[in-house]
Amino acid sequence: MARTIVVTSGKGGVGKTTTSASFAMGLALRGHRTAVVDFDVGLRNLDLIMGCERRVVYDLVNVIHGDANLNQALIRDKRCDQLYILPASQTRDKDALTQDGVGRMLDDLAKEFDYIVCDSPAGIEKGALMAMYFADDAIVVTNPEVSSVRDSDRMLGILASKSRRAEAGQEPIREYLLLTRYSAKRVKLGEMLSVEDVQEILSLHLLGVIPESPSVLTSSNSGAPVVLDKISDAGQAYEDVVARYLGEDRPQRFVEREKKGLFGRLFGG
């Protein structure tokens, strides 16, 4: 049976789509058959970040309304044949989603995939609720910044009460914290919330810390998930995240400011 993971936040622009792309790619690179689904109907981004925007024929809304089946809509990634993308519609909006339709679509996906990553839109209305309703796990993407922490906290309350698992009284959604756009330097200067500050409010299992990195912009401009950039700090951090999710014990690498060697200080930024 497939595991359904929602990547959510409440706050917009914190790194949900970036995370969905890299997390799904990371799972697929390890041999797990993975589908990543864009739930941001009307503001579709996942296809851009994945670099498949020129191959979109059918989308999530087409599948839900029966205009196309899953096989017609799913796009296989050119870099990893275990990874498939189901893009959102750009011409419709979130009202086109129905809970039954989404449920049936996820059930069909579950027959063929090991992991289903749902990229949630921002907010707490229908689109976000649809994306998280059927989830088994939730990655709550948070920036170390007060309004993002407040919105993530709100989203946690909703995950605990409005998911199918909550309504059916089943084991609750497993919640993970992913801290993104983290700057160890600014934390040290006291300008930015630290991991401990965030955990004091959210009290969640920490899945990982993704450092603020120019490689994220470079990757999205070239239509590649940043996890493929093995040299970049963000890419390596996402690789650690996937490993931890699958049960490996990896130390947090980007929380402390790395000490630069002599050459780094002379020539580095």
Partner 1 sequence: MQAAPTYRIPQPVTALDIKATTLTAPVIFLHIGHLGQIASDLAARIATSPEFFRNVPVIVDISRLQADDTVDFVALAELLRQQQLVPLAVRGAHGALRARVEAAHWAVLSDEAMRGEPAARAPAPRSAGATRVITQPVRSGQTIYAADSDLIVLAPVSPGAELIADGHIHVYGSLRGRALAGVRGNAASRIFCHDFRAELVAVAGTYRVNENFAAAQLGSAVQIYLDANDMIIEPLYHGSKL
Closest CA to 141 of 31, 50, 10: 10
The first and second tokens of residue 202, run together, are: 């959210």
CB of 75 to partner 1, least distance (A): 36
Q: Work out which of 33, 150, 165, 174 binds partner 1, going by CB under 8 A.
A: 150
Distance CA 41, CA 144 (A): 27
CB of 117 to partner 1, least distance (A): 24
* Nearest CB to partner 1, comparing residues 60 and 156: 156
Distance CA 61, CA 157 (A): 28
Should residue 154 be labelled a site residue for partner 1 when binding is judged by CB under 8 A?
yes
Should residue 205 be labelled a site residue for partner 1 when binding is judged by CB under 8 A?
no
Strand partners, 7: 119, 139
Closest CA to 124 of 257, 253, 8, 265: 8
Distance CA 110, CA 131 (A): 15
122 Cβ contact list (under 8 Å, min separation 6): 9, 10, 11, 12, 13, 16, 128
Should residue 165 be labelled a site residue for partner 1 when binding is judged by CB under 8 A?
no
* Nearest CB to partner 1, comparing residues 27 and 156: 156
Closest CA to 193 of 205, 209, 207: 209
Should residue 153 be labelled a site residue for partner 1 when binding is judged by CB under 8 A?
yes
Within 31-50, which residues bind partner 1 (CB under 8 A)?
none
Q: Work out which of 68, 195, 201, 243 binds partner 1, going by CB under 8 A.
A: 201
* Nearest CB to partner 1, comparing residues 157 and 264: 157
Q: Which stretch binds partner 1 (CB under 8 A): 137-145, 198-206, 221-229, 233-241?
A: 198-206
Which residues in this chain contact partner 1 in the complex, by CB under 8 A?
A: 150, 153-154, 156-158, 160-161, 200-201, 203
